[in-house]
Amino acid sequence: MTNPPNPLIKMIATPDPADVALLDKIMEKTKAGKLFWNRLRNGFVAQLPDAMKIEFVNSGFGAGWSTFTVKTKEGTVLHVENRGNLVFAVLAGSDPDPLSAKVSILYSEVQKVGEGAVERAIKILDRI
């Protein structure tokens, strides 16, 4: 006899389609070089028109991200925490959290394109 599926696992494993669409759009704009990601000591931030802000906060435990947040002037529209969902999901016998997995892929891309003040200063000097 098998246990019935845990509704919490189903809820975690089925992200809101609007959240997925938002992440896909952010990835698309990041890859196209249309989002400027500023490297900070504790993560990355992209400031957009209309008071929109997209932010990664780095994990305090080595490489990786701990939180991802998208804010508009109306408030927080998306907040994802990286809680080791892959390990949790495997132990629970379900698929990993697809939203967290998408954010991890985005984080990898942002790490490639994000720049800090020093990198920008070097690029300016290279142009003269």
Q: What are the structure tokens assigned to 116, written together? A: 């800090």
Closest by CA position to 44, among listed 99, 122, 119, 95: 119
Residue 121: φ, ψ to 5° = -65, -40
Whole-model pTM above 0.85? no
Give the residues across from 48 on adjacent strands.
52
Please give the C-alpha separations between residue 8 and each of 30, 64, 67, in angstroms, as whole numbers. 32, 25, 21
For the record, the structure tokens of 21 come out as 């669409």
pLDDT of the residue at 14: 79
The amino acid at residue 81 is: E
- The answer to whether residue 113 is domain-embedded is yes
Is 11 within a domain? no
Partners of 43 in the beta sheet? 40, 57
Q: Rounded to the nearest 5°, which phi and psi values hold at 73?
A: -65, -20
Residues of the chain falling short of pLDDT 50: 1-3, 5-11, 85
- Print the domain residue range for 59: 16-127
In a domain, 60, yes or no: yes
Q: Is residue 68 part of a domain?
A: yes
Residue 93 belongs to some domain of the structure? yes
Please tell me the predicted confidence (pLDDT) of residue 46: 95
**Percent with pLDDT over 90 in the chain:** 52
In contact, 8 and 23? CB cutoff 8 Å:
no
List alpha helices for the chain, DSSP H: 7-13, 17-31, 85-92, 98-113, 117-127
Q: What integer pLDDT is reported at residue 89 of this predicted model?
A: 53
Q: pLDDT value at position 43? A: 92
Is 7 contained in some domain?
Answer: no
Does 3 fall in a domain?
no
- Is 6 inside a domain boundary? no
In the block, residue with structure tokens 């809680």: 83
Task: Give the count of domains, the chain.
Answer: 1
